[in-house]
Amino acid sequence: MTFRGLVARALGVAMVCVLPFVAYADTGTFDMDRWYTILDNVRTRAQNNHISDTVIDATLKYPVFIPSIVKSDRNQAEFKLTLDGYLARTVNSRRIENGRKMRETYPTLLSRVEQTYGVQPHVILAFWGLESNYGTYKSAHKLTDAFLTLMYEGRRETFFGNQLLALMKIADDNNLDINDIRGSWAGAMGHFQFIPTTLQQYGADGNGDGRVDIIHSVGDAMFSAGNYLHKLGWNPNERIVRRVALPANFDITLLDGKTRRPLSEWAMMGVVNADGSALPVADMTAGLVGDVGAINDARATAIANATNAVDPNAIDTDVAPQPVIYAYLTYPNFYRIKKWNSSNWYAIAIATLADELH
């Protein structure tokens, strides 16, 4: 029987399902037919994937559309922090201090993750710190409702439909109460903010109870994160980034991380350690990442200051004093982090926090 039919037979369920939509529907924009069609399709897909009736019924019994999630999806703020500003926000003294406390709290568990997956404790802690502030981030939304709402919104209906189906499968396979699984409005959950399809692929049982529960079990969460990084090719013998200094006239179009060259070539181009010493000699390739916007601003400020100090007509902007450029050599582990999160700033923050927790 379709969801519409079930609602027609159960007035109580109908009232619970419909009442949350009243304010939204009164605007004339909510399409009940579309909503019911989505619910019917979810039931059909779940049945075809052999998900139990218990989980299907729990998912669809009292579905709630959440207008605030649609608003969040359509109006995602674009924060344009400088790299230094981003690092100041993400790798602050409190996060470093709490990371060290977590290392003292979970030494055996972190050691087991390293022995099993080859991912060092300070790296696991860095991801844990950035993703959920060591588990203190409290997720607000019941994920079934978040995914149904985003499916209705429509821009990425297939993607969020796949996330909901994966979540239902995870709940079924691990005997979890699907209505107790909460996450962000976009569907990330647990200590390391996995989306369901990622958890389905990389989830691991870290506490030996035969289930994978990355929300309530720190062991499961850490083992899943370790397994994910291991499968991405994590190399514990290589660093992630190295902060370096570049000549003032360095071609900053190379600072996007996409151009990778042997360390010897970067050295020949004048790249040195941040303290001015020579780069180590190693048979490795690396990219370069820097804050191009901040560098351009600093160059413009230097030229403006020089212009204000003397006769403007006497300034040659091509040879005016310019600040030293600081950037980051990015090694293979950096690009593995970018498969977890594609942001260059995020990968550098992980590397920076990991170094602080080493």
Residue 46 is classified by DSSP as: H
Contact 327, 289 (CB under 8 A): yes
Average of pLDDT values for 289-305? 80
Q: Nearest CA to 119 among 257, 224, 243?
A: 224
User: What is the pTM assigned to this prediction?
Assistant: 0.87
Domain residue spans in the chain?
Answer: 241-330
Name the residue with tokens 């568990």: 109
Give the Cα separation of 288 and 85 in Å (integer).
19
pLDDT digits 0-9 by tens, 168-196: 999 999 999 999 999 998 899 999 999 99
pLDDT at 181 (0 to 100): 94
Count of helices and strands (H, E) across the chain: 18, 7
Contacts of 348 (CB under 8 A, 6+ apart): 83, 87, 241, 289, 328, 334
Whether the per-residue pLDDT at 16 is higher than 50: the answer is no
On the CB side of 52, CA atoms within 13 Å amount to 12
Contact 95, 353 (CB under 8 A): yes
